[in-house]
Structure 1
Amino acid sequence: MEKISKRTRSFNSLILNHSKGIVTKKSDNKEKIKQELLWYLNLPAGLKKYSPKLIDYENSKTNVGYSLELCSYPTLADLFVNLSLDLKSWEKVIGELFEIINLFKKYKKNLPYISYRYMYYEKIIERLNELKKEKYWKDLLNEKYIYINKKKYKNINLILEKIKKTVDLLFDKNEMSFVHGDLCLSNILYDKKKKVFKFIDPRGSFGEISNYGDIKYDIAKLRHSFHGFYDFIMNDLFEIEEKGKNFDFIIFVKKNHLKIADLLDREVIKRGYDLRKISIIESLLFLSMVPLHRESFRRQKAMFLSGIKLINEAIF
C-alpha cells in the first residue's frame, strides 16, 4: 500500500493512498475539520459534482477526519502562478466559476446580521488583538500611518470605525446563499482536458457552523488570489524592504497576471456585483489572515501590507 503523508499547515495532515485513490485529512484542530466534514455531508445534490466524492469519515469525541476520492488535478493557483493557461482559457475558466457561483445562489438561507458583524468586523478585532501580543506588531499597529512604495496609507486604527460601518453596506439578504467559504485558487482543482472543477478544503462556517453565507465572500476569496496575488505570497514570490514604517513591497507578477486579474474584475461587474464591496472584503481577508501565518514572518508582513493598501483604496 502506497501512502504519502504531508503537512498542509501547522494543524493539518493529509494521507494520500494512490493505490486506492483516496486522500484522508485529519487535524489537531478538530473543530475546523468537523466544519469541513459537515460541509461535505450537507452538500446539496445539485452541487456534488463540484466536490471530490466523500468516501469515509469519523466524527467522534476523540477523532475527527474524512476521506475523499483522490483527484490528481493541479490547482488553479498553480496554473495561475505559472501562467499555464492562455488568456482566452482564463476568460472561460473565470466565466465557468461564476456559473458555479450562480448555482450556489439557488440554495438560499437567511443569515443573522451578527454573522456579518462577526465576519467583517469583530473577527478583524480578534485577529489584530492576537497580533498585538507580539512587540513588532504592537509597535507597527500603533503607528497612525505607514508608507508603502513611498505612498502614505492610513494604518488600521484610523480605519476601524469605517470598517465597522461597512457591515451595513455589506449586509444584503439577496446575496445570502450556499458558499464554499474558502474559495481561493489553491482550493480549486481543475482538469484542463475535461474542463472539470473540484472544490476542496471548504470553510464550513460563516459566523456560525453552516454551509451558507455571503456569496460576496466567495467572490472576494477569488479576487484575493487573482488580484491580491495571495498565492504568490504563499510561494514567497515577493520582496519587502523595511525601514521603520516605510516599506518597499513588490510582488513578482507578469503582465499577463495583471490581465487575468482584470478579466476577473470585468466578470464581477458583468455579473452585477459591486466591485467596491468585493474589494473591501478582499482587504479584510488579508488583514484577518496575518496571525494565522506564523510559519513565515515575511508572508505575514506581505499580507498586512496588501490588506492596508487595499482597504485604503476601497474605503477612501
Structure 2
Amino acid sequence: MNCDYIIVQAGGKGTRLEHLTINKPKCLVPINNLPMLFHLFRKFPDKKYIIIGDYKYDVLREYLKVFADIQYILINSQGRHGTLSGISDSLKLIPNNKPFMLIWSDLVLSEEFILPESGDYIGISKDFRCRWKYENHQFQEEPSEEHGVAGLFVFSNKQMLGDVPEEGEFVRWLGGKSIIFKELPLYKSKEYGLLSEYKKLEVPKCRPFNQLIIAGDRVTKIGIDQQGQHLARKEKAWYQLIEQVGYTSVPKIYSYEPFTMEKIKGQNIYEYKELPFEQKKSILENIIMEIKKLHSLGKQETDYFSMKEAYITKTFDRLSQVRDLIPFANQDYIVINGRKCKNVYFYQNKLEERLSQLEATEFRLLHGDCTFSNLMLDEHHRPILLDPRGYFGFTKYYGDAAYDWAKLYYSLVGNYDQFNIKNFNLSFVEGEVELRIASNGWEALEAQFFKLLGNEVTERQIKLIHAVIWLSLTTYAWEDYDSICGAFYNGLYYLEEVL
C-alpha cells in the first residue's frame, strides 16, 4: 500500500510501566536497545510521522530533535485525555484521499510485518492480551488474545474520521462507526504497556548497532547500521593485528566475513560479584597482567591530536548534543547524591585546560574498552579480552595506556556494567538529583588496583579520565533517556573529586 503517513499516539503516561516512565514518556522506554518509537522509525524510515505527545512532552520534543532522523511533526495534546486526544489535529496534516496508519506507540511490530494492500484494516493480536476485541466486524469491550484490538489501524482516507472528538477513548468511539475493517493478524508483534511484559525481555548483550547470532560454540557479530559497520571494520583490523603480534588472550577468530569467533565458555567479570575478596584480588592481578602484556606488544610516538580528540573534542561534541535534554543543565551547580557539583557546561574552559595537560610518554597497543562487560573468565579462569575499540582519537590500534586503565576503573569503582544493563535508579527530589547504581561488588579493590598499576599512571589522572568517560557516555547511551542523564550526572559527580 502506498501509505506515506503514520500517526503515532505517544501521549500516554505509561503508568503500568511504573518506574520506567518516571522521567520519560512511555514511547521512549527502550525495548531491545531501542526506544519503542524508534522501532517504528527503523521499520519505516521513509514515512512521514505525526507524533502525538502529552506526558513528559518536553522530554519527547528535545529527544526527537537530537536523535530522530526521519520526517516528523510533533503534536502537543496536553490538556486533553484519552487515545482520541491529538488525532483531530493530526488529521489536518494529512492530504485528502491519502491512506494513513494510526498506531499506539507501545506496539512493536514484528520483522515480518508489511503494510497491506489498499483498504481499511485493523491490527489483531494473536499472542498478547488486549482489552478490546474485534470479531465478526464488531467491537466488544472484552479481553482477548486471539481477536484483540492491538492498536494499529489503516484508513484509506481521513474523511472516514471526519467527526472525530477532541478527547476520549478511540476504540470505544470507533465502535460506534459503521466502518468495516479487514483483519490484519499481528503474529510475533508485541505490546509493551505492562511492566510484566518488559521484565520478560532478556538483557541486551550488544549495542543497538550490533546483532549477535549464537550457533553452538560460535558467535557471529553483524553491524546492522552504518555506525555498527564502521566500528566492525576497526574491530576486525585490531584482531588481525593482535594475531600478527601473537597475543592470545582473545577469542579465536574463525572468519572475518562473516565476522565469526569462538564463544567463550565463561562469564563476564561483573557476574563474579559474590567471590571472596582474595579470589577477586587474584583475578584483578591477572587482568592487569594481561592488559600490561598487551600494552608491551607495540608502541609508537604520542599523537597529541588524538589525545585532544579522545579526551576533549569527543566529550564536548557529545555534551553539546544533549544539553537541552538534561534537567538542571542550565544551572551553574547541580546537587547530585548530596554533593554540590560544578556544571561542566559552565566550566568547560577549566576542564579543557586540565585535560590538555594530560601527557603520555608514548602510545601503546590498546584494547580501548576493557570494562568488565568486555572481559570474561574462560573455563580455566583465564582473562579473555573482547570487543576492542581498535582506535584512540585519530590513531589506529595505539593510544594512551591510561585510557585502558581508566576504563577498567570505570567498572571496578564506577560500576559501569550495572549502569549499562539499566540496573540503576534516577530520580529528582526537590531540585536535586539522586542516582543509585547497583554495585558490581569490586569497589573494595580500588587501593589494590592503584598498587598494581605502580608508577604507570597517577591516581588523579585515572580519576580525571574516568569522569570524562562518563560524560562521553551521554550520547553513546542514546537509546535510553535515563542513561543519558545518569551518565552526565555521574560524570559531574566524579569530576568534582578531581577539579
TM range (shorter): 0.7 to 0.9
Match of 1:76 among 240, 247, 269: 269
Please show how residues 278-289 of structure 1 align to structure 2 within 5 Å.
278-289=462-473
Q: Closer, same or farther in 2 for the Cα pair 1:285/1:70, shift >3 Å? A: same
**Which 4+ residue blocks in structure 1 deviate beyond 6 angstroms?**
none
CA contact (8 A) 1:35 1:209 kept: no
**Residue 61 of structure 1 aligns with which residue?**
none
The code of the aligned residue for 2:275 comes to L
Q: Closer, same or farther in 2 for the Cα pair 1:253/1:156, shift >3 Å? A: same
How far apart are residue 258 of structure 1 and its match? 3.0
CA contact (8 A) 1:25 1:66 kept: yes
**Structure 2 counterpart SS, 1:8:** coil
Match of 1:17 among 211, 215, 221: 215
Match of 1:239 among 411, 418, 425: 425
How far apart are residue 46 of structure 1 and its match? 4.9
Task: Give unpaired runs (5+ residues) of structure 2.
Answer: 1-203
The code of the aligned residue for 2:355 comes to V
Please show how residues 88-167 of structure 1 align to structure 2 within 5 Å.
88-106=278-296, 107-132=298-323, 135-137=324-326, 140-167=328-355
State the alpha-carbon separation in 2 of the partners of residues 105 and 48 from structure 1: 10
**Residue 190 of structure 1 aligns with which residue?**
377
State the alpha-carbon separation in 1 of the partners of residues 294 and 357 from structure 2: 22
State the alpha-carbon separation in 2 of the partners of residues 229 and 112 from structure 1: 30
Please show how residues 41-60 of structure 1 align to structure 2 within 5 Å.
41-43=240-242, 45-58=244-257
State the alpha-carbon separation in 2 of the partners of residues 212 and 272 from structure 1: 16
Matched-pair identity in %: 24
**Structure 2 counterpart SS, 1:50:** coil
How far apart are residue 245 of structure 1 and its match? 4.3
**Residue 32 of structure 1 aligns with which residue?**
231
Partner deviation per Cα, 1:222-277 (whole Å, 9 max, x = no partner): 001011111121233332220464112223338x5431334323433x35420110
CA contact (8 A) 2:302 2:360 kept: no
State the alpha-carbon separation in 2 of the partners of residues 51 and 12 from structure 1: 19
Tell me if 1:178 matches 2:365: yes
State the alpha-carbon separation in 2 of the partners of residues 55 and 42 from structure 1: 15
Task: Give unpaired runs (5+ residues) of structure 1.
Answer: 1-5, 59-64
**Residue 276 of structure 2 aligns with which residue?**
86
CA contact (8 A) 2:306 2:395 kept: no
Q: Closer, same or farther in 2 for the Cα pair 1:22/1:252, shift >3 Å? A: closer
State the alpha-carbon separation in 1 of the partners of residues 266 and 408 from structure 2: 19
Higher relative contact order (CA 8 A, sep 6+): 1
Which of the pair is proportionally richer in helix?
1
State the alpha-carbon separation in 2 of the partners of residues 194 and 291 from structure 1: 37
CA contact (8 A) 1:15 1:25 kept: yes
- TM-score, normalised to structure 2, is 0.55
State the alpha-carbon separation in 2 of the partners of residues 16 and 44 from structure 1: 23
Count of aligned residue pairs for this structure pair: 292
Partner deviation per Cα, 1:136-182 (whole Å, 9 max, x = no partner): 32x633221100123211001233212212334322224x2000011
